[in-house]
Amino acid sequence: MYNKKTLGIFLFAVALAGTAFYGGFFYGKSQVPSIYAIEGVGNKTLGEPDNMDFSLFWDAWKVIQEKYADRANLNEKEMVYGAIEGMVKSLKDPYTVFMKPQEAKQFQDDVSGSFSGIGAEIGIRREILTVISPLEDSPAQKAGLRAGDKILKINDTVTSDLTVNEAVGLIRGSKGTNVKLTISRSTEDELKEITITRDDIKIPTIKWELKNDKIAYIQLFNFGQTAPSEFRNKVMVVLRSPADRIILDLRINPGGYLEVSQDLTGWFVETGSVVAIEDFGNGTEPKEYRSSGNSVLKGMPLVVLINEGSASASEIMAGALRDLRGVKLIGAKSYGKGSVQELTNLREGTSLKVTIAKWLTPSKKSIMNEGLEPDIKVEVTKEDIENMKDPQLEKAIQTVSSLNK
């Protein structure tokens, strides 16, 4: 989830491996000195911690420079980037990510709300590249990609060793070109190949419609920068309509800015209510985030739809509404992305997104990796999808209709 200084929405070496196989391993006759000058590399000790000894790193660097067979084509900048990526990968946290200049620019493009690709949020879940949610009306959704699908191959590239950024780089491409994803789906025995035609992607925010003459059905697709103003405009329309109760649909919503979740939750609860708690886990006092909306919807009966594509800010909002108002959550278990990342812009256009805390609901429940269990669980079957039925929405309509004002 993001806030403007602290980011946590999206989802996202030097791994130095020594392999000794005695039959064909050549052990160098001379030892590399622990201290030496390395030509052409600047700022080797800038910011170096007092208690760290980087001599092993520079030993390895020196050996590569002196003995690597294709020394003429060594790219020292890429070696430094690789070293940082390895350091980050050692944390085993899929949301802590180092981004090279192009990846950093791509990330900012995502946040701005428009880009070219297939329109799906992806992340690493249990070490497998997984679809968090396809975006509404996106090529991915139209091609049949679903939240929870495990992406095993992108075209002919196996994804097991890819970072999220590397996978995104392979999936994206020019408008009108195709990408083939090989996926595993929990409800099906065989692997599926889905071919998706890339297109310009504009991330939708919100839409609503009146159901059964009195239910405002509001679909919120993300917690982006424009969501507060767009939500406010829709609320004004809802308040002028015959609607006297609300279904808030947070399914297939991968999250967004923290400030936005505070703002939108505030429409449904008392102003100043605790929406989320930031737990740093290192003895630091937890930080509370409070609602900032104007509470005009707090008296309207409400239910919330969630599923495995509900992540980050959408989980915060759903958890807060349940804790603060006893709102029923209907659908399927949410994704479980309950951590907060801080984005730091580094030199040369690079960026580092690092996990600094985890989110707790107002009742201090952690959703990290666990997700939110719905109060009313409703499964969507393959037959439901084929027949364009939505039993979760049907249950939400039934439930909210039975609530007293």
Residues belonging to the active site: 312, 323, 337
* Angle in degrees, CA 286, 90, 185, rounded to 5: 90
Helix (H) or strand (E) holding 104: helix 101-112
The residue assigned the tokens 């070490």 is 127
For the chain, what's the residue count? Answer: 405
Residues whose CB is less than 8 angstroms from the CB of residue 214 and which lie 6 or more positions away in sequence, other chains included: 242, 243, 244, 245
Q: How far apart are CA 1 and CA 313, in angstroms?
A: 6
Q: How far is CA 357 from CA 116, 278, 338, 371, in A?
A: 31, 6, 9, 16
**Tokens 């679903």, residue located:** 146
Estimate to the nearest angstrom the gap between the alpha carbon of 289 and the chain centroid: 20
Q: Tell me how far CA of residue 197 lies from CA of 118, 131, 184, 203, in angstroms.
A: 7, 17, 20, 17
Contact of 166 with 180, CB cutoff 8 Å? no
In the chain, the amino acid numbered 185 is: R
d(CA 13, CA 347): 19
Lookup result for tokens 């780089």: 169
CA distance 250 to 318: 8
Quote the tokens at residue 72.
């003429």
